[in-house]
Structure 1
């Protein structure tokens, strides 16, 4: 029948479902349910199969609009498409947009900013370790100031106050970067203060603690045992030592290129016999980078916080066995091993300028006009200093302290 606006409106329900075709639009049907509900339906063929698609309810969808929708659906079917499936796909819930997720944005932050910085790898590692681990799947717009405070408090509550302050600084810069790129209107870290005031550290291991530390390194084994010994004997920075490669070892010299040092200066570290023995005792894990301290062959060791705690526990056991009773050892950090080596060389009569050359310091006596015009590299002096320090540590470990000046009061 030829459907009109008036005839459609007058059609009454019966005890059976009614499907009235429209003579002016082949494939369009007006459906009247026994319940009185009325609606539009279009029929078409797709891949040789008869299909039906509901267009909408009447009177929400008028006759004129129903005819237009039916014609659109039939046109799509004539092109080999399935209009019903297209409608279902359009209504299906879309996967969450990942663009503003924290883990995605930190990846972009690394690519566009951190990758060009000498400290970029360290910052990315800490952001992954704490921020991505906690918020990685969250949308950056859902992060508020309280979230930032809770994150930092959790780190501080584990005893890592300095780490909490570092993460705060790294997170602050990341969020400010997001503001600059118009991702968020304001940083949720604005006004968040450092978790704790960081006291200047002056911790130096005593003679007994050096012995106990060495015993702990022996007990722990690879990788933290050998790495701990290298840190103590050379006084070098943790990341620089952890990332040492076989290609950097040139006989009895460890050569660090400018891109491997914190201050961007080429640095040569003479290797004492004790250090060479430690490195020779490390079983290598094959890998293209040639890392000495690696468990994968592709990346250097990480997880320094847990490693320090493991060595500290082993030190406690060594001290208890040595003294025959529990001994309370003040907390130390890997950086304190560097300070211990510097202090030890000073006690052995090594000039400050030579010690600074060993540590690759550019401040102090090596700064200013001296640093500009004094080009002597102290190669022989550095070797003598590190040999003397290694001899000192070896005699402590072997229980022969009589021939050396003791460090500390114990």
Structure 2
């Protein structure tokens, strides 16, 4: 007779990366431990109701232990013995709770993200900003209670902490949210009406210096996987953060990465040649799922804000480690991850690659690739893009090795 599941046995169960597995608990008929390819585990009860098979999800391991899972399954079977469907009753309870809480800010935001923002390529960014800036403050409040003063207080606090651009972005997202809610008769008025962007903005022109590139590259060692290699690839390819962070192994073919149209900002398929330096980084990545950069095996990496804070700390420690006692600490001018893209573009231009080639690398449709010219000029400059990215990667490698002066710059194509 098979032994009943124990906490030690559940902990020791290994996932199959190719499929979900279900392990029955011999101690209670119908109770299963479900192990996902990612390694996450949960409890489920399988039974029959009305002559048809049914399933009730009980809870996740290790929050729900073995004894708790058996108790929950026993309670569900007791409900079944009384002629009622436990899965149906659970669904009814959840729907009733959702109806009761449907006007909370958290519930409206969830509906907004599902119905509206999910169709936007930046939907994940919107969701992350709401979670970071709004949920803890307003999540349990009814959305109709949010007034102009509440909005101004939140935006002012973000400006005061030194993040004026974030405040502007949040204002724009909240304005869209409340206009959407007004259109669905959830709110009668938009509290953002009359609230201007809290801070002026100017185009960024920040480019990392050679010394900063060295500090950045070495600090990536301290970040390890997934952020260390992710950040290095951003610098070497000049592509956008989300586009790289959500790369899948299927998109990589030999020394080429093809970004599908539905993931690119401008809606165009984009082919990115991969330099030997990038391929070396890819060769060292673990294979834990479909994404190159993932901590779960099921979803792409997240947590960019905290990772950037760790990167800044590591760079600051490195630049100040050999300062003489009493010397004024060196401060690295603030930069964003998007500035890596500008640094790569500036670096390729400095290597004498013409603007239309740099724009092709960046997948920009501006300047020489804009409007009528862009419609009729469908040439993708594949060879030129490879030459530019290879040269830029060699330039970065030489900087790291302290031999930048030996890099031979490529002459502008005639």
Settle same-fold status: TM greater than 0.5: yes
TM value normalised by structure 2: 0.72
2:401 to 379, 398, 403: 398
C-alpha deviations, 1:36-69, integer Å up to 9, x for none?
xxxxxxxxxxxxxxxxxxxxxxxxxxxxxxxxxx
Q: Which runs of 5+ in 2 are unaligned?
A: 1-96, 410-414
1:196 to 164, 178, 199: 199
The aligned counterpart of 1:284 is: 287
Q: 1:220 to 1:330 in 2, by over 3 A?
A: same
1:329 to 320, 327, 332: 332
Which protein shows a greater Rg? 1
1:159 to 150, 162, 183: 162
Is the contact between residue 347 and residue 405 of structure 1 (CA under 8 Å) also seen in structure 2? no
TM value normalised by structure 1: 0.72
Secondary structure at the counterpart of residue 134 of structure 2: helix
Cα shift at 1:95: 11
The aligned counterpart of 1:253 is: 256
Q: Does 1:128 align with 2:131?
A: yes
RMSD: 1.9
The aligned counterpart of 1:97 is: 100
1:371 to 364, 369, 374: 374
The aligned counterpart of 2:178 is: 175
C-alpha deviations, 1:113-158, integer Å up to 9, x for none?
2222222232223223322232111101111111111122222233
For residues 298-313 of structure 1, what are the structure 2 equivalents within 5 Å? 298-313=298-313
Q: Does 1:267 align with 2:270?
A: yes
Cα shift at 1:314: 0.9
Q: 1:322 to 1:257 in 2, by over 3 A?
A: farther
Q: 1:237 to 1:173 in 2, by over 3 A?
A: same
C-alpha deviations, 1:210-256, integer Å up to 9, x for none?
00110111122112211110010000001111111111111101110
* Counterpart Cα distance in 1 of 2:98 and 2:302: 35
Q: Does 1:389 align with 2:385?
A: no
* Counterpart Cα distance in 1 of 2:240 and 2:322: 30
